[in-house]
Amino acid sequence: MMEDNSACKTASKIISERAFQNWLWVVIFSIAFAWVESAVVVYLRKIYFFGGFSFPLVIKWEGGRHVVDPLIRIEFGREIATIVILIAIGWMAGRNRFQKFCFFMLAFGLWDIFYYIWLYVMVGWPDSLMTWDLLFYVPLPWVGPVITPVLIALAMVVAGSLIIYFDEKGCDIRWRWYDMSIELTCGLVMIVAFCWDWKNILQIPGPVEYTGIPNPFAWWLYLPVYVFSVVYFAVKLRKSISNQPKSV
């Protein structure tokens, strides 16, 4: 019996060390990948926006139709491919499905945070955390102050790392499907906040004359949902952690 317990402890230690190594490599990858993303954005801004990061965006409308540059379609594909790469890294690093998703959150969060850090190192932008930025362009432009995606990214890094840590310690993390649904719904609502001003950003032609300059951000929609999602995660994680080892 003592030999069996010793073997279990040894196996558990090996698994934990492997998880830490995976965590470390995901961190290294995310930071390096963020440099690649930042460099690409600097090139794109140089080509299309004269090296700047200001609004309004360069938008062309002809006959009531949005004229899309062929390279923009390639950019759409690049943004989607970036997410696929981060998902793939999480899938390879995780020991189970829950960990795979958490490693994806870790990778995405660090990639997003260091994207802004490297941009500041490269070109001295953003000027502050309240500087407006175009976050994504799929399927509509996501726009918001830099602090808004950074807060989400920070929450993803902390949440993903905590779950991986407690999972490796053998805690029974009771995270149900409805818990995940609530958190994902909060994420979707925050995306709506980013896209709230899309007609103005795209300067839709019509009776209303849009400037393309971002209006005040939809804090009324973003902030309550963000705070709720963080508090909900903290409460559920605390309740769901059990001191009992997982059943085999």
**pTM, 2 dp:** 0.86
The pLDDT, as a whole number, for residue 105 is 96
* Token pair for 6: 């010793």
Write down the residue that tokens 């870790």 correspond to: 106
- How would you write 153-210 as a 3-class SS string? HHHHHHHHHHHHHHHHCCCCCCCCHHHHHHHHHHHHHHHHHHHCCHHHHCCCCCCCCC
The pLDDT, as a whole number, for residue 244 is 52
Amino acid 30 reads: S
Those residues with Cβ within 8 angstroms of residue 129's Cβ, 6 or more apart along the chain or in another chain:
145, 146, 147, 150
Residues of the chain with pLDDT under 70: 1-15, 48-52, 61-69, 242-248
Is the CB of residue 63 less than 8 Å from the CB of residue 143? no
The pLDDT, as a whole number, for residue 247 is 46
What sign does the CA torsion over 113, 116, 122, 124 have? negative
∠ CA 189-76-187, nearest 5°, is 15
- Using the 8-state DSSP alphabet, how is residue 95 labeled? S
The pLDDT, as a whole number, for residue 228 is 97
- Using the 8-state DSSP alphabet, how is residue 94 labeled? -
Domain boundaries, the chain: 10-240
Task: State how far the Cα of 226 lies from the Cα of 133, in Å rounded to an integer.
Answer: 19
pLDDT digits (tens, 9 = 90+) for 212-241: 888 899 999 999 999 999 999 999 888 877
The pLDDT, as a whole number, for residue 110 is 97
